Amino acid sequence: MNSYVSSSESGSFERDMDYLPDRITRGGRRPSDGPVVGEPWPVEPGRYCLVAAPACPWASRSLVVRKLLGLEDVLPLATPGPVHDERSWNFDEQPGGIDPVLGIHRLQEAYLARDPAYDKGITVPAMVDIPSGKVVTNDFPWITHDLFFEWSEHHRSDAPDLWPDHLRDEMEEVMERVFTDVNNGVYSCGFAGSQEAYEEAYDTLWSAMDWLEERLTTRRYLMGDEITEADVRLFTTLVRFDAVYHSHFKCNRSKLVELPALWGYARDLFQQPAFGETVDFEQIKRHYYVVQDDLNPTGIVPTGPDLKGWWTPHHRDQLAKDLTDRTNVRRAG
């Protein structure tokens, strides 16, 4: 399951954020921030498997961060297919229907190995302890946070600083709005249970999209000249926008390709390997249009949109140069 979702009495969408909050930390130390249940798990190359379906935007965050930081050789990957039933994500598309790293058919097996009575969402991404076969955590915001802070000894030498200290407070504010109004906002539109709830969610989403369009008109990335975790989080929604959210979730005021700054920004990120190489548009479309049969009862998967535009020049690198030139002029004056 992607996540448990529900609608309130007013028809507004509510996401269940009750995840397994264990943490994988350097030396198995107890973290000073965020959640931990029981004893934390120690970072060990090759011990854990990241289970992340390319179809899922929350899982896609971890795929991008794993590749940005160069963790491919120390953190094995299991990729469930895009279509699942009410029980679990599965590995039907792997040879024999079994994941070669974990040796399981359904991700549910790893959750039940941890707790035979587990009855919450079988979600991705998930970190699984390979020796025991037990899921460690599916708390997606903390998975990418810890891949940066706790796995730093295993990063590639030129890995980006995804959490710059001097931008941390502002970045947290930006990420909070991106999550609430955009990442989750498209779901609030798609799964609204009343016209009033839908229209409120729609207005909130597009207010945030207009804010982002303005912000990205004068800066290359959300926080300036360098990619941060904030960009990873926004990208996974933008890359799905025209293919899914515009029509399937009724977020149809504008297409991404009609928003100059956001469209250029999305292409800029997509054309960088850590982003574009983790995107599978066919899996994305199959997941939403087949699994969410309450929104698409025919199960028909759209053929479009035309994807050629993703590879067109974006010229976003010029924004960083222009900003540097303006800064130098001000200092000289």
Taking the C-alpha atoms of residue 211 and residue 205, their distance in angstroms, rounded to an integer, is 10
Contact 233, 183 (CB under 8 A): yes
Residue 303: pLDDT over 70: yes
Region of poorest pLDDT, from 38-42, 135-139, 207-211, 320-324: 320-324
Q: What radius of gyration, in Å, describes the C-alpha atoms of the chain?
A: 20
Is the C-alpha dihedral spanning 269, 273, 278, 283 positive or negative?
Answer: positive
Mean pLDDT within 48-55: 98
Taking the C-alpha atoms of residue 237 and residue 53, their distance in angstroms, rounded to an integer, is 15
State how beta strands 126-129 and 24-25 pair.
unpaired
Residue 117: pLDDT over 60: yes
**Which one of the listed residues 19, 48, 111, 187 is annotated catalytic?**
187
Residue 4: pLDDT over 70: no
Comparing 170 with 31, the larger pLDDT belongs to 170
Average pLDDT, the chain: 94
Catalytic annotation present for 251: no
Extract the tokens encoding 169. Answer: 């407070």
**CATH architecture for segment(s) 165-332:** Up-down Bundle (1.20)
Tell me the per-residue pLDDT of 71-90, one tens digit each, with 9 for 90 and over: 999 999 999 999 998 889 99
* pLDDT of the residue at 188: 98
Contact 131, 139 (CB under 8 A): no
Residue 1: pLDDT over 70: no
Catalytic annotation present for 111: no
Region of poorest pLDDT, from 21-30, 58-67, 137-146, 321-330: 321-330
Mean pLDDT within 202-210: 98
**Which one of the listed residues 49, 56, 189, 251 is annotated catalytic?**
56
Comparing 330 with 30, the larger pLDDT belongs to 30
Residue 332: pLDDT over 60: no
State how beta strands 24-25 and 13-15 pair.
unpaired
Beta sheet of 48-51, edge-to-edge order:
77-78, 48-51, 126-129, 134-137
Mean pLDDT within 77-105: 96
Comparing C-alpha atoms, which of 281, 236, 183 is closest to residue 61?
Answer: 236
DSSP, res 96 = G
> Domain residue spans in the chain?
5-154, 165-332
Confidence of residue 322 (pLDDT cuts 50, 70, 90): low
* Helix, strand, coil percentages, rounded to 5, for the chain: 45, 10, 45
Tell me the per-residue pLDDT of 139-178, one tens digit each, with 9 for 90 and over: 999 999 999 999 999 999 999 999 999 999 999 999 999 9
Mean pLDDT within 261-289: 98
Comparing C-alpha atoms, which of 223, 299, 306, 300 is closest to residue 265?
Answer: 223
Residue 186: pLDDT over 90: yes
The verdict on domain 5-154 having CATH code 3.50.50.60 is: no
> Angle at Cα 245 formed by Cα 148 and Cα 91, nearest 5°?
60
> Angle at Cα 127 formed by Cα 121 and Cα 128, nearest 5°?
95
| Cα pseudo-dihedral 244, 89, 280, 50, rounded to 10 | 130
- CB-based burial label for 98 (10 Å; 0-12, 13-18, 19+): middle
Tell me the per-residue pLDDT of 259-274, one tens digit each, with 9 for 90 and over: 999 999 999 999 999 9
3-state secondary structure of 207: helix
* pLDDT of the residue at 308: 97
* pLDDT of the residue at 10: 77
Strand partners, 242: none
* pLDDT of the residue at 330: 53
* pLDDT of the residue at 8: 64
Taking the C-alpha atoms of residue 181 and residue 201, their distance in angstroms, rounded to an integer, is 8
Residue 2: pLDDT over 50: no
Tell me the per-residue pLDDT of 216-246, one tens digit each, with 9 for 90 and over: 999 999 999 999 999 999 999 999 999 999 9
* pLDDT of the residue at 326: 53
